[in-house]
Amino acid sequence: MPKVAKKQQEPSGPFGDMFPYRETFGIYRELPRKSRQPEDVMRELRSIAREEDARWQTGQISGTYYHGGIEHYAYLNRVFSLFSHVNLLQRDLCPSGTKFEGEVIAMTARMLGAELARENDPQADICGAITSGGTESIILPMLAYREKAKAERAISSPEMVVPDTIHPAFSKGAHFFGIKLIRVPVGPDYLADVDAMRRAIGPNTIAIAGSAANYPHGLIDPIEKLSYLALEAGVGLHVDSCFGGFILPWIAKLGYEIPPFDFRVPGVTSMSCDTHKWGYGLKGASVVLYRNRGLRRRMYFSMTDWQGGLYASPTVPGSRSEGISASTWAAMVTLGEEGYLKATRRIMKAADTIKSGVAKIPELKIIGQPTYCIAFTSDKVDIYHVNDFLAERGWRLNGLQKPAGFHLCVTLPQTLPGVATRFVRDIAAGVEYAKNPPATPARSGAVYGGGAASLDPSMVNELMLAWLDASTEVP
């Protein structure tokens, strides 16, 4: 056991206890003097992992653990271990990396209409790259659009027009690359307001974007209308399918009405699609796709005069583990269409149970007509009290704001027997609780990735930053 450096501190701050292992396993503030035995370290890690896995294995955690099969994860980890130590930057040493990545990109492109795109557009030549996650798959096309507009239209103050439900990665990319992001409020149907977006387009617009589906409400923006708009304005159109790319095609195949959102739509020039969500791969991978190679070139970086030699890399990182790409490839070929369809059928069955169950609760409203990610709001009760009640019952949902609400993103753990019906029962009981709420304000808020932390709105930003600090420090 490591030595525990004692420092007394209140174990639970405004964000809850961020360091629950201090008593059981101590805290490292410096490297241990002596080496530790791997078995000893593994005992510690196994105990931590078991405890944290038990939390989501109830099926009561929204999103994030998309597959949830321990065997599946163990299999992907075995694949990972074969290539974990290999650096994809040194591609001559691992031609296997080109096989895995090229095939993951090709399979993803085909799933998102790459072949059918040619019927409308003979120039279409869908290509892409593997990135570290959805955020990178979003910010790289932003860079590409900026560079293209600079070269071809001499635009020095680039702007992008997006619906305000779009993922914060767009704001992050705009911040990184000096792009002005114009976030246009969505319409009363919670979808991108195409006319308002048209009015926001100006001479400096480099691209527009929409989601299929968006994170807050799981809704698909009117991509075909956005496509007309993009073609009419002569700008790019990015479709953020981080959240939907690997499930909407299968939902459509099952016979649900899903409007076209991919490269079949002629104005779509780039897409982001996360393998580490519904692709059921390990965390740390996503696919960015472009309609043609010229646009993809705009995101590349290369340098010829460095003492260290010639340097070129397509995406943000330099060194990358081949294990991620190999395990993503393995997830895709192991599941195949058959596996994705089977998983999607289970997810939609659970989602349909939840939607029809909640439809019978008059105090609750489902936002729009969602498929697998269902957002709830209410104008009758304080919805955050409902979320508080659900949190007490072990549910961890994702808080929303404007309007106040929360969503349940149905993943495979929610398809376990009884989970969907338990949710309907508990949310109904939560509404009863919220009808006669306690005197204290609801604890639930709307922190992305933070579950149900309590925040005073006037200090939100400062607290968010303090939270990031706290996430990287020992107490």
Ligand X SMILES: *Cc1c(COP(=O)(O)O)cnc(C)c1O
Closer CB to ligand X, residue 271 or residue 434?
Answer: 271
Q: How near is the Cβ of 169 to ligand X at its closest, in Å? A: 5
Closest distance to ligand X from the beta carbon of 240 (Å): 5
**In this structure, what token pair is assigned to residue 72?**
């599946």
- H helix intervals, 267-321: 293-297
CB 215, min distance to ligand X, A: 4
Contact region for ligand X (CB under 6 A) — 5-13, 210-218, 250-258, 354-362?
210-218
Binding to ligand X (CB under 6 A) within 97-156 occurs at 133-135
Q: Of the listed pieces 32-40, 240-248, 253-261, 346-354, which binds ligand X according to CB under 6 A?
A: 240-248
Q: Least distance in Å: CB of 142 to ligand X? A: 13
Task: Output Rg (C-alpha) for the chain, integer angstroms.
Answer: 23
Handedness of CA 20, 26, 29, 35 (dihedral sign): negative
273 lies in the site for ligand X, by CB under 6 A: no
Question: In this structure, how many other beta carbons lie within 10 angstroms of the beta carbon of residue 23?
Answer: 10
Q: Judged by CB, which is closer to ligand X: 194, or 373?
A: 373
Cβ closest to ligand X, residue 215 vs residue 376: 215
Residue corresponding to tokens 């056991």:
1
CB of 278 to ligand X, least distance (A): 10
Taking the C-alpha atoms of 172, 173, 176 and 179 in order, what is their torsion angle to the nearest 10 degrees?
Answer: -110
- Side-chain half-sphere exposure of 178, counting CA atoms within 13 A: 6
Nearer to ligand X, 135 or 269 (CB): 135
| Closest approach of ligand X to the CB of residue 367, in Å | 15
Among residues 262 and 274, whose Cβ is nearest to ligand X?
274
Nearer of residues 69 and 284 to ligand X, judged by Cβ: 284
Say if CB 49 and CB 42 are below 8 A apart: no
Residue 353 contacts by C-beta under 8 Å, 6 or more apart in sequence? 420, 421, 424
Cα(407)–Cα(371) distance, integer angstroms: 12
Q: Under the criterion CB under 6 A, does residue 214 sit at the interface with ligand X?
A: yes
For residue 256, how many C-alpha atoms fall within 13 Å in the half-sphere facing its CB? Answer: 20
Among 65, 80, 145, 215, binds ligand X (CB under 6 A): 215
The span from the CA of 474 to the CA of 29, in Å, is 7
The reply to whether 408 sits near ligand X by the rule CB under 6 A is no
State the burial class of residue 455 (Cβ atoms within 10 Å of its Cβ: 0-12, 13-18, 19+).
buried
Single out the residue of 207, 263, 214 nearest to residue 241, CA to CA: 214
- Residues 132 and 315: their CA atoms lie apart, in Å, by 9
- Is 214 or 344 the residue whose CB approaches ligand X more closely? 214
Q: Phi/psi at 213 (nearest 5 deg)?
A: -105, 170
CB atoms within 10 A of CB 212: 27
CB of 134 to ligand X, least distance (A): 2
Report the residue number, 66 or 100, with the smaller CB distance to ligand X: 66
Question: Please, which residue, 233 or 282, has the CB nearer to ligand X?
Answer: 282
Among 101, 147, 221, 274, interactor with ligand X by CB under 6 A: 274
Whether the CB-CB separation of 286 and 272 falls below 8 Å is answered with yes
Looking at beta carbons only, is 64 or 84 nearer to ligand X?
64
Say whether residue 169 binds ligand X (CB under 6 A).
Answer: yes
Sign of the torsion angle spanned by Cα atoms 425, 376, 367, 64: negative
The whole-angstrom separation of Cα 422 and Cα 411 is 15
CA angle 218, 221, 223 (to 5 degrees): 140
Contact with ligand X (CB under 6 A) among 65, 145, 243, 389: 243
Of these, 182, 206, 223, 242, which contacts ligand X (CB under 6 A)?
Answer: 242
221 binds ligand X (CB under 6 A): no
Considering only residues 167, 264, 385, 407, which one is a binding residue for ligand X as defined by CB under 6 A? 167
Amino acid identity, residue 105? I
Q: How far, CA to CA in Å, does 414 sit from each of 67, 160, 214?
A: 10, 37, 20
Q: Which of 108, 211, 275, 415 binds ligand X (CB under 6 A)?
A: 211
Instruction: Establish if 266 lies at the interface with ligand X (CB under 6 A).
Output: no
| Shortest Å distance, C-beta 274 to ligand X | 5
The least CB distance from residue 331 to ligand X, in Å, is: 15
Q: Whose Cβ is closer to ligand X: residue 203's or residue 449's? A: 449
Q: Which stretch binds ligand X (CB under 6 A): 73-81, 237-245, 311-319, 327-335?
A: 237-245
Measuring CA to CA, which residue among 272, 266, 189 is closest to residue 229?
266
Say whether residue 240 binds ligand X (CB under 6 A): yes
Beta carbon of residue 187, minimum distance to ligand X (angstroms, whole number): 18
Contacts with ligand X, residue ranges (CB under 6 A) = 133-135, 167, 169, 211, 214-215, 240, 242-243, 274, 286
